[in-house]
Structure 1
Amino acid sequence: MSAADTLLSAVPTSPAAGIKTLARLGFAAIGVVYLLMGVLALLAAAGQQQGAHADKEEAVQRLQDLPGGRVLLGFIAVGLVGYIVWRFTQAVRDTESKGSGASGLGMRLWYIVSGLFYSGLALYAGRLALNGRAEKGSDASKTLAAHVLGWPGGDWLLLLGGLVVIGIGLFQGFRAYSGRFHRDVDASALPDSQRRLVYRTGQAGFTARGVVLGLVGYFLVQAGQQARAGAVGSTDEAFDLLAAMGPVVLGVVAAGLAAYGLYMLVQAKYSVLRGI
């Protein structure tokens, strides 16, 4: 088979196949981002200056320094857009059979929110790929919080938003220790030892992600209580707080985020995509 035939065979031949390809690209892109983020945080835990900032945008920006960096950035941008498409597909087509009841609609709304969560990062990666530079959106959450605080009852809205984010973090922990996360991966082709390793990696990853989300939610609660937008914090501030607890604490969570990245890379290859 020629190289051209190989490339043509990889092109999706139907809308369903296209959506599946986009979903897998999305999982892979998220895996790369979290793996890099975990490595940067591990460097910070080890006292290395280059790991001082370990948020998603910093992780993406570091790709510029690698050979073929702009190509990698383009892959991240396209992959994240693919993930957004997949999440919207889950919501609109109800691929998980959640139904149209209150809880079902809430879960389908969450799919949309989960997808849009990566929209800013996709835009940032795309601009870096095309222009070689882009403004970071690290202050966007503080700017948004300042606008919310200008609304009637804005402080309560921030507090409520923080509690919701904390709840999502706790749900990540529930997924980790209930094993529900593993239903999205078909590792039946792997030997038992590798399946166990994949499972434990996922547990560590979802737990660490839950911890970080819980801290981001805590910052939102503090911003609501103090009516101060400056109290809002992102992943980077969460790492700063973990670092204040000691390098071991930061290192454990950082390793967990790297594990989450690895698990997402596994999911990209062995993903279970229902309803398509």
Structure 2
Amino acid sequence: MTLSDTISNTLPTNSRTGLRTLARLGFAAKGTVYGLMGLLALLAATGQQEGQTADKKQAVQTLQGLPGGPVLLGLIALGLLAYIVWRLVQAVRDTEDKGSDTGGIARRVGYAASGLVYASLAWYAAQLALSGSADSGSDAKQTLTARVLAWPAGEWIIMLVGVGTIGVGLYQFYQAYSGKFHKHVQSSDIPAGQQNTVYRLGQIGYTARGIVLAIIGYFFIQAGRQSRATAVGSTDEAFDFLANMGPVVLGIVALGLMAYGLYMLVQAKYPVLKV
């Protein structure tokens, strides 16, 4: 019996059910955000009048103009909060059996970080839902970068952040083509005729996500090399970078992010949760 099995068996049934619900809500919210980003980028690539590339916050903001927008935004905020809680549970309870050695602790910290990165997005969606307006803090990344650049060896720190981000992007490629990403989905529960389609969606989605992360990492490296905080960019700027290569390139990556969003929705319905 693994450690996660032991932990799972010691948790009350209601607690396990609640944690699983949190995880599923989180995957659904994350999938919706990525799907919106991909859709907006695809509209831009195909020259639609309303098309525009967008980062996560801008994608969430598009929900505001839809019927029931505040409700949808509230659901996204709650879903992202649920995702954050689930990732913290994974880190603290070690549900994935990573252990307490150096490598295991690093992986568990990674789980927590991957959840907390959505904290500002959850708060942004909540503000939009409650008051109809919110400060996107679009230049917060550049402000923080400028502060770090002012430190001794700040340029090297920013470049290391860039290398690390590229590394995360490359890990997405590894996940895609090793098939390891699929272990988080209960594929046996998916109708037989759809299993291969779902797997391909995941491969395409993780590849597209890896491309975007690698470009963002490149922006950080350029910011460090040039000692210029304004060189840092987010998903929106990554899309613009791809658009400069042509609408076909942007369209392909946009479709990939939509595929990633759909795969997250599948994971929400058929998750493998060790709790």
The two structures have a TM-score, normalised by structure 2, of 0.94
Q: Which residue of the partner structure matches residue 8 of structure 1?
A: none
Q: Secondary structure at the match of 2:30?
A: helix
The answer on 1:191 being equivalent to 2:191 is: yes
- 1:32 matched to 2:32? The reply is yes
| Map of 2:43 onto structure 1 | 43
Is 1:73 aligned to residue 73 of structure 2?
Answer: yes
Match of 1:141 in 2: 141
Letter in 2 for 1:143: T
The 2-side partners of 1:92 and 1:215 are apart by 31
Find the counterpart in structure 2 of residue 256 from structure 1.
Answer: 256
Deviates more, 1:104-113 or 1:13-22: 13-22
Query: Shift of residue 51 of structure 1?
Result: 2.2
What is the Cα-based RMSD across aligned positions, in Å?
Answer: 1.2
Deviation at 1:26, TM superposition (A): 0.4
Structure 1: distance between partners of 2:241 and 2:187: 36
Match of 2:242 in 1: 242
Secondary structure at 1:22's aligned position in 2? helix
SS at match of 1:197: helix
The percentage of aligned residue pairs carrying the same residue is: 63
Aligned residues of 2:40 and 2:51 also touching (Cα < 8 A) = yes
- 1:144-159 residue pairs with structure 2 within 5 A? 144-159=144-159
Rounded to whole Å, the distance in 2 between the matches of 1:48 and 1:120 is 30
What per-residue deviation string (whole Å, max 9, x for no partner) do you get for residues 231-259 of structure 1? 00000000000000000000000000000
Write the distance in 1 (CA, Å) between the matches of 2:89 and 2:136. 29
Q: Which amino acid aligns with 1:181?
A: F
The residue number in structure 2 matching 1:175 is 175
- Cα distance, 1:137 vs. partner? 2.1
Partner of 2:105: 105
| Greater Cα shift, 41-50 or 124-133 | 41-50
Contact 2:205 2:263 in 1 (8 A): yes
1:49 is displaced (CA, Å) by 4.0
Measure the CA separation in 2 of the matches of 1:157 and 1:253. 29
Q: 1:13 to 1:133 in 2, by over 3 A?
A: farther
Contact 1:138 1:234 in 2 (8 A): no
Structure 1 segments unaligned to the other structure (5+ residues): 1-11
Shift of the 13–67 alpha-carbon distance from structure 1 to 2, 3 Å rule, reads farther
- Determine the structure 2 residue equivalent to 1:18: 18
Structure 2 gap ranges (5+) = 1-11
Per-residue CA distance 1:130-188 (angstroms, 9 max, x = gap): 00111112211101101111111111100000000000000001000000000000021
| 1:7 matched residue in structure 2 | none
| Residue 115 of structure 1: aligned partner | 115
CA displacement, residues 34-88 of structure 1 (integer Å, 9 cap, x when unaligned): 1111100001101224222321111101111111111110010000010000111
Structure 1 length as normaliser, TM-score?
A: 0.93
1:164 aligns with 2:160: no
CA distance in 1, matches of 2:154, 2:20: 40
Are the aligned partners of 2:190 and 2:270 in contact in 1 as well (CA < 8 Å)? no
The amino acid that maps onto 2:247 is: P
Residue type of the partner of 2:91? A
User: Is the aligned partner of 1:91 residue 2:69?
Assistant: no
1:216 alignment partner AA: I
1:117, distance to aligned residue in structure 2 (A): 0.9
Displacement of 1:13: 6.7
1:233 aligned partner: 233
2:99 is equivalent to residue 82 of structure 1: no
Distance in 2 of aligned mates of 1:49 and 1:210:
28
From the superposition, tell whether residues 48 and 91 of structure 1 become closer, same or farther in structure 2 (CA, over 3 Å): same
* Equivalent in the alignment of 1:267: 267
| Counterpart in the other structure of 2:5 | none
